[in-house]
Structure 1
């Protein structure tokens, strides 16, 4: 800020004289400084040093700032002040990214600077049966096949329970001469379905989708299976 002072010479008040602050002189350029994070030393940006109002030609530098050239890190990287405080160390920056543990595939959000440590990867597993081998995920086919076989076995068991329930009810209606025409026709159809269902071999592998027999009422059967928690 410029000041205006009165000048007295020979007892006579002259025209006021404008006094220019030293930092406002035409040839004075404030130094550019690089600011870094106090904990990590990460480059945050640049600012101008502040002039000392009481000491001509003296600049006050903010804490954790350095009068060096700013870095130009690429996307996915961050610059840290080096140990000598005269340059930059460029490190990987995965903060905010989702990473995965290579032992379980569990995701987590990464918060640290630097390369990922062993046991973590940016690659997402594609299936629940992926295992980490070397530098990529590989499907564990035996584990996948066994899970599918187990699910198929449970589907066969539940479908048999549903069919047996329908057969018992329809059989009662027939035995008591209470069956409608549709119910009388449905009874042998459910019995045939139960026989075909029992012939599925799930001892070593899960049947293909086309190998499953169709039931007399697939919609009702699907609703029953879903109510029992069977995945589609």
Structure 2
């Protein structure tokens, strides 16, 4: 009799376990979809099926920071954020990963936050080192650009005069020692004329244009000299 009772109890337990451990596999049972969100921002991260509770038929386990809600419609340039009650989605502007520019000085940085840009940043890129923000667009500060061009022109003038002087000095030695060839005598005159024309170039009132500069007797050598001195034209 005792054995029958024990066997009956075991059978009952086995039957209960069989029923409770496989309830989610029964026909018609479908795991609900849950949406996972970022714990800090509530941003939609992805969706998955809920896990069944092995010992509680009909009970589904919802992971932390998840909601039983339909996945949002994902829109380009926006992020879906769960409302506080976890029943709806808000579409929030998403500029993360984009390069933005500080309107105070045009400094670029990669944006990392959700939401609209604050008023002191813009997605518009400045077009030059002399752009200033007028509230809606970048505009060139012509006064600042003109000043920089004049300063750059004066630097270039000084470098070219120095280079011409070096060439003249070398050629003058050959002439003084009566060792100069006809080509060197001609070159000496050309470099002296070039230095005179450089010194006559007036950069005090206006920035030089490309046509303002006198032609060098050796344009390639003069350009290489400027490069070797670290000179760069102002854009």
Q: Same fold (TM over 0.5)?
A: yes
Paired with 2:230 and 2:120, the residues of 1 have a C-alpha distance of: 34
Q: TM-score, normalised by structure 2?
A: 0.87
Write the deviation string for residues 13-38 of structure 1: whole angstroms up to 9, x where unpaired.
Answer: xxx9xx56221121222211111111
What's the Cα RMSD here?
Answer: 1.9
Structure 1 segments of 4+ aligned residues over 3 angstroms from their partners: none
State how 1:1-232 maps to structure 2 within 5 Å.
Answer: 21-232=22-233
Residue 91 of structure 2 aligns to a residue whose secondary structure is strand
Structure 2 SS opposite 1:39 = coil
Q: Secondary structure at the match of 1:35?
A: strand
Which runs of 5 or more residues in structure 1 are unaligned? 1-7, 10-15
Question: SS where residue 138 of structure 1 aligns?
Answer: strand
User: How many equivalent pairs are there?
Assistant: 218
Unaligned regions of 5+ residues in structure 2, if any? 1-6, 9-14
Instruction: Report which of the two has the higher share of helix.
Output: 2
| Cα contact 2:149–2:208 (8 A) shared by 1 | no
2-structure distance, mates of 1:52, 1:174: 103
User: For residue 13 of structure 1, what is the aligned residue in structure 2?
Assistant: none
The TM-score, its normalising length taken from structure 1, stands at 0.88
How far apart are the structure 1 equivalents of 2:47 and 2:230?
Answer: 59
Residue 4 of structure 2 corresponds to none
Q: Tell me how far 1:147 sits from its aligned partner.
A: 0.8
